[in-house]
Amino acid sequence: MESDSSLGWQGKGALEELMRERIRSTIEGIIEEELVTALGAARSQRSGPVRVGYRHGKRSRTLTTSLGPTTIAMPRARMEGEDGRRREWRSAIIPRYQRRTERVDEAILGVYLSGTNTRRLRGALAPLLRGAPLSKDAVSRLVGRLREDFAGWAQRDLGELKIRYVFLDGWYPRMRIGKKRVRVPVLVTLGVCADGRRVVLDLRLAGVESADAWLDAVRSLGARNLGAPVLAIVDGNPGLAAALKVQWPQIAIQRCTNHKLWNLLAKAPAHLREELAEDYRRMIYAESREAVEHARVGFARKWKLRCKTVSASFEEAGAELFTFTAFPVSQWKALRTTNALERINEEFRRRTKTQASLPSEEAVLLLLFGLLRSGQVTLRRLVGWHDLTTISEQPQAA
């Protein structure tokens, strides 16, 4: 087997150096293909009817990727426009003034928004930046662009999404307000499109998770042309259910079956909890609507005798605990709970678990939005999405 020295590289960091060299060649190859397409002619190719410009040298450009800074030879060219005027060619793959890839920028933003100042940020990301410049102004520009993107995202028109279902829940991250560390609710709305795609529709902070706060959130969705969804999956917050009915009187409500189980277990004596959970799951996970209804009757009768506090909590949910049975069986797994939102919240917790608290209210929203925008939080299609064609067409926005 050949040694490292026989391959022409060795020593500490040699693997990264070799990878960066290959990345440089790959980037230059991609840019060359882009330029050939733009010019309508390859290098040294004779002029022809499709040529619209000419090369005029190269210039060095340093681009920081996930493997550190890489210096590339950026080609230059002059293009002739339809008006006969010449202009400098600009790459769409590596825009003018770009010095870092989007993945690097997202890493910088994530660390900064978690509460790290610029000096410590450079130290934390030293293996990534490898001496590449990172000024306080550069970080401020990144945050400013993210803030502008979030503002536009939060006001975007939702009419074309054709939302059928919505999941709504509050999440309570810890943040600093003044000199205190407090938990403040972030109200999250997730929508399911007619083609099964799941899309985060809205993120907003609220002083408390009240009926008024949720009504503001729901009215904002309506103002952005979200037509009335067919179904809302919620955690049981009475203010949220009331707000939904005010905005969309005909919407069906599904209470999260997991949240209700936790409530029931909290009401039951310790020695009955295992039996209670087994009976509850047998009822909720029955294979047909008739089987669910049969088990529901038996559950209510049994636990009215076994534990009155459990019975009262179960009756409080009423028919909204079983709304999912009116929808295609293939979708029951997805419609019974708010787990789709729980997975988003869990990903956010994972990214911030080492922080005692986030530095500001704005940082919470920007960090979560940044994770969504960068694709680090991925959303799969609704289980059973093929059967969405059986759901009635979305009503027009009010």
d(CA 126, CA 123): 5
Q: pLDDT by residue (tens digit) across 98-107?
A: 776 677 666 6
Three-class SS state of 201: strand
pLDDT for the residue numbered 208: 81
Pair 185, 174: CB distance under 8 Å = no
Read off the pLDDT band of 397 (50, 70, 90). Answer: very low
Using the predicted structure, report yes or no on whether residue 190 has a pLDDT greater than 50. Answer: yes
d(CA 348, CA 364): 10
Task: Output the average pLDDT for the chain.
Answer: 81
Mean pLDDT of 237-261: 93
Read off the pLDDT band of 396 (50, 70, 90). Answer: very low
Using the predicted structure, report yes or no on whether residue 359 has a pLDDT greater than 90. Answer: no
pLDDT > 90: percent of the chain: 40
Q: pLDDT by residue (tens digit) across 193-239?
A: 999 999 999 999 887 888 899 999 999 999 999 999 999 999 988 88
Using the predicted structure, report yes or no on whether residue 129 has a pLDDT greater than 80. Answer: no
Instruction: Show contacts of 36-45: CB within 8 Å, 24+ apart.
Output: 38/77, 38/79, 38/89, 39/77, 39/79, 39/89
Using the predicted structure, report yes or no on whether residue 394 has a pLDDT greater than 50. Answer: no
Distances in Å between the alpha carbon of 171 and those of 3, 78, 174, 344, 363? Answer: 54, 53, 10, 10, 15
